[in-house]
């Protein structure tokens, strides 16, 4: 199990991106959260196996129908206490 933080850049707000991520996380089985950031990016933190996290990243790179993902940056994070399941959080900084 690992934890990764994702920062998604491009046309990713106002296109249903967070709900797309929430559904993808549920299908894949990762725990964590997603939120819009004030700079126009979307940030997600996810915990799962390497295989699950790789699948999750591929879904982020894909995005929902009306999005346009320019890039996804990924950083490994220390294993955080995350609730089971996946949530959409209020917009962050």
Number of residues in the chain: 93
Task: Reply yes or no on whether 50 is catalytic.
Answer: no
Q: How distant is the alpha carbon of residue 36 from its chain centre? A: 10
Task: Reply yes or no on whether 18 is catalytic.
Answer: yes
User: Which phi and psi (to 5°) does residue 67 adopt?
Assistant: -85, 170
| Catalytic choice (4, 18, 35, 47) | 18
| Catalytic choice (36, 50, 58, 83) | 36
Nearest to 61 by CA among 75, 48, 74, 77: 74
* Catalytic residue ranges: 18, 36
């Amino acid at each position: 199990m690992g934890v990764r933080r994702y920062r998604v850049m491009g046309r990713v707000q106002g296109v249903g991106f967070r709900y797309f991520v929430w559904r993808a996380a549920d299908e894949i089985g990762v725990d964590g959260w997603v939120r819009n950031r004030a700079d126009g990016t979307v940030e997600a933190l996810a915990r799962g196996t390497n295989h699950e996290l790789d699948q999750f990243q591929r879904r982020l790179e894909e995005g929902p129908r009306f999005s346009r993902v320019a890039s996804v940056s990924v950083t490994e994070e220390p294993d955080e206490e995350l609730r089971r399941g996946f949530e959409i959080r209020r917009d962050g900084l």
